[in-house]
Amino acid sequence: MQLSNRKKVMEQGEMTLVERMYLPAIVGGMATTLKHFFSKPVTIRYPEQQRYLGPIFRGHHILKKDSEGAERCTACGLCAVACPAEAISMVAEERKPGEEKLYREEKYAKVYEINMLRCIFCGLCEEACPKEAIFLRHDQMVPVFSSRDEVIYGKDKLVEQMDQRYLRDGWK
């Protein structure tokens, strides 16, 4: 049975005289390597040089604040439900009077933790979020950790800092 017509029968006969002398082929091969010798290396010296990974690269998580500096997250738990790795957990708390500047919605996440050993950076939390609160930022990666104490990221590492706001390319 033939599924496609791409099958090609190769026939290997006796080599011709030029082929058996090998030298033309060797010269051709050496020309190829010499061409590459003078071509530009493709290496990126990683820690010093970093390649732009695109505007939708899924890197470090961030809990966005709105333009007034109030946290957007309302602790609905949809991100935790959506998470295939079950990396997200949170504790909700009701907003007290006088905290309107801190939290946008009437309910907020008192504790919001992501286990970075579990996270697979799929971005489903970002898609599930109805409040546009959690994002995976494109310009920063989760740093390497050496101890298990460092792997659970709380709000201290996740909430956006107002003096260095995260802007994704295309939002501007």
Partner 1 sequence: MNLLTDIFLAKAAFIGVVFAITLGIAAYSTYFERKIAAFMQDRIGPDRAGPFGILQPLADAVKMFMKEDFIPANSNKWLFIAGPCLSMLTALMTSAVVPFGDTVTVGGVTFDLQGIDVNIGILWVFGIVSLGVYGILIGGWASNNKYSLLGAIRAASQNISYELAMGLAIIAILLFTGSLSTKAIVEGQQNGHWNIFYQPLGFLIFIICAFAECNRTPFDLPECETELIGGYHTEYSSMKLGFYLFAEYINMFISGAVMATLYFGGYDYPGVDFVTAQFGSTVAGFVGMGALIGKALIFVFIFMWVRWTLPRFRYDQLMGLGWSGLIPLSMYNVVVTAFGILIGKPFTVGIAGFALLLVGLVVYDQLFVKKKIA
Q: Which residue ranges make up the site for partner 1 (CB under 8 A)?
A: 11, 13-14, 16-17, 21, 26, 29-30, 32-34, 36-43, 45
Smallest separation (angstroms) from partner 1 to the CB of 52: 20
Residue 123, number of CB atoms within 10 A of its CB: 16
Smallest separation (angstroms) from partner 1 to the CB of 20: 8
SS3 content of the chain, % helix, strand, coil (to 5): 25, 15, 60
Half-sphere exposure of residue 50, counting CA atoms within 13 Å on the CB side? 8
Cα–Cα distance measured from residue 158 to residue 65, given in angstroms and rounded to the nearest whole number: 11
Cα–Cα distance measured from residue 36 to residue 40, given in angstroms and rounded to the nearest whole number: 8
Smallest separation (angstroms) from partner 1 to the CB of 32: 7
**In the chain, what's the furthest Cα-to-Cα distance?**
93
Cα–Cα distance measured from residue 31 to residue 22, given in angstroms and rounded to the nearest whole number: 14
Contact 168, 55 (CB under 8 A): yes
- Cα–Cα–Cα angle for 69, 70, 72, nearest 5°? 125
Nearer to partner 1, 21 or 91 (CB): 21
Smallest separation (angstroms) from partner 1 to the CB of 50: 16
Nearer to partner 1, 1 or 17 (CB): 17
Nearer to partner 1, 29 or 84 (CB): 29
Nearer to partner 1, 34 or 120 (CB): 34
Smallest separation (angstroms) from partner 1 to the CB of 8: 16
Nearer to partner 1, 34 or 167 (CB): 34
